[in-house]
């Protein structure tokens, strides 16, 4: 291929690339805008929710719900054990320490109560 | 500093010191080996800060001292040179500005050394809490637990094996949170006081190699953040891991709903065959299906790209509920390799809870735990 043609091709490619960059830039701007809107909306909703929950009496089955939220955190892929708390978990392999908490936390509480 | 020494004797000791020297030393002088000569002995020292090894070679007919002194030489080069020297003996002389001359028959090397005064000092560990155990026992317990340590440096305590040295036994536990291995061996004369140490897995691996097939006495001196292991003329210093080792006793299930006994060699070969496929896929998982009414045990594995495998494994004493459980075959392979009996008893509780592998003999206290894998 002659060098001039090559150069022309290169020019075309570069122009296309510039176009793509411009469009990506627009996309990013849109996403950022949406993100800010969502953040504000989220905050407003949270405030509303806090007001709603503040009016309600504290839930009675506290241990149960705590354990359940731990289970949710664990199932969504994070460690809940002392050793690895909050770090990302390999979703295919269970962690013994986490399982121990999920299995025995409620039970151990129960034993303590019985002992009193 | 000047001496002549039997080359084989020197190489034998040099090889052991080289175990402590890392090719990626953080402090430049640690890529060297320190030689220190007195009227009575030649001391070789190597260290990578985690592990330090010191060997004393006493003066005898194989080691002739002409003048004392000390020097640090680049370890890799020095050891390669000594190994390739032609003669039975070689002579070693430190000249001006740390230039070291090594002569054997017609061959003469001059290499640049470093000032031994800049070499870090090894910690002084008092031996008032020291005790002695058999090398064979120590090596056995290392080989039965060390493989289960974690490689994750962010949670350093799990990269070590936790040892409890008691007057009547040693208990060692290692876990990487997916599997666990715990071994207790009875001692005839253990330490007077209970000693609890977390020793890095890497140090233990090297120690086991140094102990080798022989059964030397190992003297253990626990220090504050280092422990010293003395094996014959060799002193092995290891960093200890500090931090809270998690309570592992509570992890070991006390109940079981299903149990079965397998012959290790048969189960291992079945696992190896299944691994041929599972290693190829993204999920490295085999499934064990136990049917108590029809008395069958089936091992299966599949890889989405390649195909699947299924095989009946022979077993003994299958009792309890039917069960299907999936696990990583590599963990099981490691567990079986560490086992010392011909067959093992596996006990299960629930399909998604850790299961236990015990030797088929009750008098051997060896518990291994493996966490199953969820399959969706």
Residue of B nearest to A79 (CA): B177
pLDDT tens across B246-295, in order? 989 888 888 889 999 999 999 999 999 998 888 887 788 899 999 999 99
Q: Is residue A43 located within the same domain as residue A67?
A: no
Residue A112 counted as domain residue:
no
Query: A–B: how many Cβ contacts below 8 A?
Result: 47
Tell whether the model's pLDDT for residue A112 goes beyond 50: no
Q: What is the pLDDT of residue B376?
A: 59
Query: Using the beta-carbon criterion (under 8 Å), do B374 and A94 form an inter-chain contact?
Result: yes
What digits encode the pLDDT tens for the residues B101-119? 999 989 999 999 999 999 9
Cβ of A93 within 8 Å of Cβ of B328? The answer is yes
Q: Considering the domain boundaries, does residue B124 fall inside one?
A: no
Which residue from B177, B283, B285 is facing A84, i.e. has the nearest CB?
B177
Q: Specify the pLDDT at position A116.
A: 31
Domain shared by A28 and A67, yes or no: no
- Token look-up 């320490």 returns A97
pLDDT for A104 beyond 80: no
In this predicted structure, what is the pLDDT of residue B41? 93
- Provide the pLDDT for residue A62: 52
Do B141 and B208 meet the contact criterion of CB atoms below 8 Å apart?
Answer: no
- ipTM of predicted assembly, 2 dp: 0.73
- The values of phi and psi at residue B161, to 5°, are -105, 130
Q: At which of B208, B231, B249 does a domain end?
A: B249
- pLDDT < 50: residue spans in chain B: none
pLDDT in tens, A58-98: 555 555 677 888 888 888 888 888 888 888 887 777 888 88
Provide mean pLDDT across the span A25-38. 91
Query: Has residue A113 got a pLDDT over 50?
Result: no
For the whole model, what pTM was predicted? Answer: 0.78
The pLDDT score that the predictor gives to residue A110 is 39
Mean pLDDT of all residues in A17-31: 93
Cα distance between residue B148 and residue B10, in whole Å = 35
CA B169 from centroid of its chain's CA atoms = 20
pLDDT value for A63: 56
Q: Answer yes or no: do B107 and B176 share one domain.
A: no
Residues B270, B231, single domain; the answer is no
Same domain, A45 and A76: no
* Domain CATH code at residue B157: 3.10.150.10
Q: Is A16 among the domain residues?
A: yes
- From the number of C-beta atoms within 10 Å of its C-beta (0-12, 13-18, 19+), residue B46 rates as buried
Does residue B282 belong to the interface with chain A, where contact is any CB pair within 8 Å? no
How many structural domains comprise chain A? 2
User: Residue A115's pLDDT is what?
Assistant: 33
Provide the pairing of β-strand B41-47 with B296-303.
unpaired
Q: How many domains does chain B have?
A: 3
The conformation of residue B362, written as its DSSP 8-state character, comes to: T
Contact A96 B158 (CB under 8 A): no
Helices (H) and strands (E) in chain B, counts: 6, 26
* Residue B70 CA: distances (Å) to CA of B20, B74, B118: 19, 14, 11
Q: Which domain holds residue A74?
A: 62-105
Whether residues A104 and B250 touch (CB distance < 8 A) is answered with yes
């Amino acid at each position: 291929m002659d060098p001039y043609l090559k150069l022309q091709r290169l020019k075309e490619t570069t122009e296309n690339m510039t176009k793509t960059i411009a469009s990506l830039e627009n996309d990013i701007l849109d996403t950022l805008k949406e993100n800010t809107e969502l953040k504000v909306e989220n905050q407003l909703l949270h405030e509303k929710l806090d007001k709603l929950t503040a009016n309600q009496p504290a839930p009675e089955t506290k241990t149960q719900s705590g354990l359940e939220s731990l289970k949710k955190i664990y199932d969504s892929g994070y460690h809940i054990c002392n050793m690895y708390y909050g770090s990302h978990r390999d979703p295919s392999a269970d962690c013994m320490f986490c399982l121990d908490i999920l299995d025995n936390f409620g039970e151990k509480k129960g034993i303590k109560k019985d002992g009193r | 500093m000047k001496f002549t020494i039997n080359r084989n004797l020197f190489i034998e000791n040099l090889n052991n010191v080289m175990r402590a020297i890392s090719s990626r030393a953080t402090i430049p002088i640690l890529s060297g080996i320190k030689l220190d000569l007195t009227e009575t002995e030649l001391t070789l020292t190597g260290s990578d800060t985690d592990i330090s090894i010191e060997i004393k070679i006493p003066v005898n007919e194989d080691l002739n001292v002409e003048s004392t002194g000390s020097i640090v030489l680049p370890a890799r080069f020095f050891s390669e040179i000594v190994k390739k020297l032609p003669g039975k003996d070689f002579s070693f002389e430190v000249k001006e500005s740390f230039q070291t001359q090594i002569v054997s028959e017609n061959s003469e090397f001059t290499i640049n050394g470093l000032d031994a005064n800049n070499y870090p000092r090894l910690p002084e560990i008092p031996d008032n809490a020291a005790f002695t155990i058999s090398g064979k026992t120590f090596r056995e317990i290392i080989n039965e637990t060390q493989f289960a340590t974690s490689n994750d440096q962010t949670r350093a305590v799990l990269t070590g094996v936790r040892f409890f040295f008691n007057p009547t036994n040693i208990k060692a536990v290692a876990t990487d949170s997916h599997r666990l291995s715990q071994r207790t061996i009875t001692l005839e004369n253990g330490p007077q006081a209970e000693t609890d140490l977390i020793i890095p897995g890497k140090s233990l691996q090297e120690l086991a190699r140094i102990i080798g097939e022989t059964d030397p006495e190992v003297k253990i001196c626990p220090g504050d953040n280092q422990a010293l292991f003395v094996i014959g003329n060799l002193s092995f210093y290891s960093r200890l891991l500090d931090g809270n080792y998690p309570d592992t006793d509570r992890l070991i299930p006390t109940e079981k709903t299903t149990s079965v006994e397998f012959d290790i060699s048969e189960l291992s070969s079945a696992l190896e065959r299944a691994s041929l496929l599972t290693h190829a896929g993204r999920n490295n998982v085999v499934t064990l299906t136990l049917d108590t009414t029809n008395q069958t045990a089936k091992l299966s594995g599949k890889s989405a790209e390649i195909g699947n495998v299924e095989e009946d494994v022979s077993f003994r004493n299958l009792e309890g509920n039917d069960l299907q459980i999936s696990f990583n075959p590599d963990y099981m392979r490691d567990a079986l390799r560490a086992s010392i009996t011909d067959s093992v008893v596996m006990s299960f509780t629930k399909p998604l809870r850790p299961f236990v592998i015990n030797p088929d003999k009750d008098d051997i206290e060896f518990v291994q735990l493996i966490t199953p894998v969820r399959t969706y």
